[in-house]
Each structure stands twice: as C-alpha cells, then as structure tokens.
Amino acid sequence: VVGKRKKTITVNDIAKKAKISKTTVSYVLSGKARKIGIADKTAKRIKEIAAEMGYIPNSWAGSLRNQKTGIISVLFDSFVMGLAERIFCGIETVLAPKGYTPIALSQRGMQDGKSGAGLSVSAKTNSILQRRDEAVLCQPIAGAKNEYKCFLNSGVPVIFMGSLLEDMTGLEECSYVIWDCKPAAKVVVKHLVDSGYKRIGYFSTSFGIDSDVSRFEAYVETLQESGLEVFDECVYRLDIPDEKRYDDIRGELVSSFILETVAHIKESSNAPDAIFVLNDAQCSGLLEAIHDEGIAVPEKIALASMGNLDVARVMGITTACEPLNEIGEVAAQLAVDLINGKEKSPVQKLITSNEMVVRRSS
C-alpha cells in the first residue's frame, strides 16, 4: 500500500525499452560509458530514454550491491543556538562534491536514562548502525559515551567536533577536530583587562565537556600576566555531577546557579566588575537574568564569552569566534579520509582562530 506512488522505473525497464542489456544501461547511467567503450550514440539514446521514463536510481539497491552507503551521520547536542547550522554547512560543502550525504541528528533525549520525548538512545544508535552509515561526526555529550563506544566497536569511525569530553576513557580510538580555544580565550580576557576592568570573574557550569578546563586556565593565566588578581569570590563554577546531567534537573540547577550568581553581583560589595563566561549559551542565560534584575551592562558589570553564536550577536555579547564552519569542513574531510583508509584512527586536529567581536556587553 504505497499510496499513489508511481510504479518505480528500474534499470531493467530502461533496458527493455531500449532493447539492450541491463549491463550497458547501468554503465551508461553511472557515467562509465566512455571508460567501457560504449558508443556515444548508444549512451545518448539510453540517457534520453531514462530521462523520458523518469528514472530515479534506487540508492538502497546500489548501496547493498556496493557495500557502501555514502551516508555520514552528524550528531549535534541540539539544533538550538545556530551552532548546528554552521557546522553542518561546512560539512555539506566538503561532502557534497564527493558524493557523500550528511544526515543531521539531535542528541536531545539520547542521553542515558533520559526518558523524555524523542527517539531513545538505542533507537538512534541502531538506526545509524543498521543503515550502515560510513562515519559519525559528533559534537560529544557526556551522557552518550556508551553510544560512541558502540560505533567504535562496530568499526564505524567517530569524529568528535568542537570539544571533547572531560573523561575520554574508552574513547581513545575517536578522532577529533576541535578548536584550540585557549589562545582565543586569552584574547577575550585580555580585552576585558585592557578595557580597564579590575575585578574580572569567571562563570561556567560544566557538563563533562572539556572546554571549561582550558578556558579557565586562559582566564587565570591572563589575569596573572596582566598583574590582576583572581578573586575566589568572583569565580562562579558549577560542576554538575554525572547523575544530574539530564535535561530537566540540569536546567533547574543551572537556573538556580545563575540566580545565585546574579544576586551576588547585585548585592555583594566584592562583586566582579566583569565576567568571562564559558560560552555564549551560558552568557546569554546570565545576561538575561542580569537584565531581569535591572543591572546595567556593561556599566555595573561587563560580560564576554566564547563562540560567536547567533545569540551573541542578537544580545550584543562580546565573544571570540569559534571556527564552526572550518571545524565542519575539516571534520568532513577527515571522515572521508578515514573511510577511504587514507588516514588511520585516531587522527586529532586542532583549529586555530583568535578572532574576537566586541559588542555592547563590554
């Protein structure tokens, strides 16, 4: 019962109509006519008939026969924040001309134990495995480690994009393409220093992604190099334990941590006059709460962060530009090389980019 779907035209149908063998039709249609030595006239005639009959090759049949599907899965944390769009664009740019099809998936609801809406972990993993996708490009989340291992066990190359997990145990075989963000983080913190802020703080909530570590280092080092002090009371760091990383609990924890932080900024006499925030997503949440409290930005408190996602532009946040497009491009190329055996896992690449955009938050 396939609705009103038209009868499928196959290579065989074309062959019959052209009174010629399937073999020849297949060679022509897959562009190998010249190579095989098929008469141009024949090739032209076959192509015309195929077009006229509305032939659409069946990629399932082709994949089955060729034992390769040309599909590469791309797993994002989620589609929010416009990050996915930009990475995916880079991926498509590279993959399209090489005949690979990237497929985007959101990992929301894919974490262990999360029972929320959406496909379960195993459902998404299985569909990738069963579909015989040739590689997995992935923005890693701490809750899906087992899934990543599952891909590796099946021999599917996994390439992490953007950042790594704090705990990469068991994922040593993963390749990655990440932003070498420490220098950029130093540029941003230095900008706050140069703008004259004296009590510069740090804000992050961490979910087992590694970027917190190097950005905090950059923060500390830059202050020290600038002769400024790191005040403990200006460092707002919340490490969310593994078992509380599911969306709902996490959301609450982050919200209340933001509220605490804003209360401190508003009331404390030793509050910071500027804060370097882990990333744009968190900075936007913080800024939102600061607005709600009517605290003047940047007069009372300046903010700067990392990423340059859409939200940073829209909210006027000073931030360093994460080279998302390039990460996508490099990761896609790496996937192709791993698939073809030109590279051997694990391959690890760093992308450098220190660009910064100054906006009205600082």
Partner DNA sequence: CTGAAAGCGCTTACAG
Q: Which residues bind DNA (CB under 7 A)?
A: 8, 10-12, 19-24, 26-27, 29-30, 32, 36-39, 42, 55, 57-58, 61-62, 64-67
With binding defined as CB under 8 A, does residue 30 bind a second copy?
no
Closest distance between DNA and the C-beta of residue 212, in Å?
A: 43
**Cβ nearer to a second copy, comparing 256 with 270:** 256
Q: How far is CA 151 from the centre of its chain?
A: 17
With binding defined as CB under 8 A, does residue 331 bind a second copy?
no
Closest distance between a second copy and the C-beta of residue 155, in Å?
A: 4
With binding defined as CB under 8 A, does residue 316 bind a second copy?
yes
Closest distance between DNA and the C-beta of residue 63, in Å?
A: 8
Measuring CA to CA, which residue among 25, 31, 30, 26 is closest to residue 46?
25
Give the Cα-Cα-Cα angle 170, 94, 74 (nearest 5 degrees). Answer: 40
The site partner of 350 among a second copy, DNA, none (C-beta below 5 to 8 Å per kind) is none
Measuring CA to CA, which residue among 321, 191, 171 is closest to residue 160?
171
With binding defined as CB under 8 A, does residue 338 bind a second copy?
yes
The beta strand positions in 163-247, using DSSP E, are 175-179, 200-206, 235-239
- Across the strands, what pairs with 182? none
Decide if 78 contacts 107 (C-beta within 8 A). Answer: yes
**Cβ nearer to DNA, comparing 42 with 325:** 42
Among 82, 240, 300, 347, indicate the residue that binds a second copy (CB under 8 A): 82
What residues numbered 116-135 form the site for a second copy, per CB under 8 A? Answer: 117-120, 123, 126-127, 129-132
Strand order in 235-239's β-sheet?
235-239, 200-206, 274-277, 302-307, 318-321, 356-357
With binding defined as CB under 8 A, does residue 31 bind a second copy?
no
Strands 274-277 vs 101-106: parallel, antiparallel or unpaired: unpaired
What are the CB-based long-range contacts (under 8 Å, 24+) for 251-260? 253/205, 254/205, 254/282, 254/285, 255/285, 257/205, 258/285, 258/286, 258/289, 259/289, 260/236
Tell me the backbone φ, ψ of residue 298, rounded to 5 degrees.
Answer: -95, 5
Decide if 316 contacts 361 (C-beta within 8 A). Answer: yes
CA within 13 Å, CB half, 332: 28
Closest distance between DNA and the C-beta of residue 26, in Å?
A: 4
**Cβ nearer to a second copy, comparing 154 with 224:** 154
Closest distance between DNA and the C-beta of residue 345, in Å?
A: 22
Closest distance between a second copy and the C-beta of residue 67, in Å?
A: 7
- Residue 41: how many other CB atoms lie within 10 Å: 8
What residues numbered 292-311 form the site for a second copy, per CB under 8 A? Answer: 292, 310-311
**Cβ nearer to a second copy, comparing 39 with 60:** 60
Binding flags for a second copy, 41-80, as an x/- string (CB under 8 A): -------------x-xxxxxx-xx--xxx--------xxx
How far is residue 251's CA from residue 253's CA, in Å, rounded to a whole number?
6
Report the interface residues with a second copy, using CB under 8 A: 1-6, 54, 56-61, 63-64, 67-69, 78-82, 84-85, 88-90, 92-93, 96, 101, 103-106, 108-109, 117-120, 123, 126-127, 129-132, 154-157, 284-285, 288, 291-292, 310-311, 313-316, 338-341, 345, 360
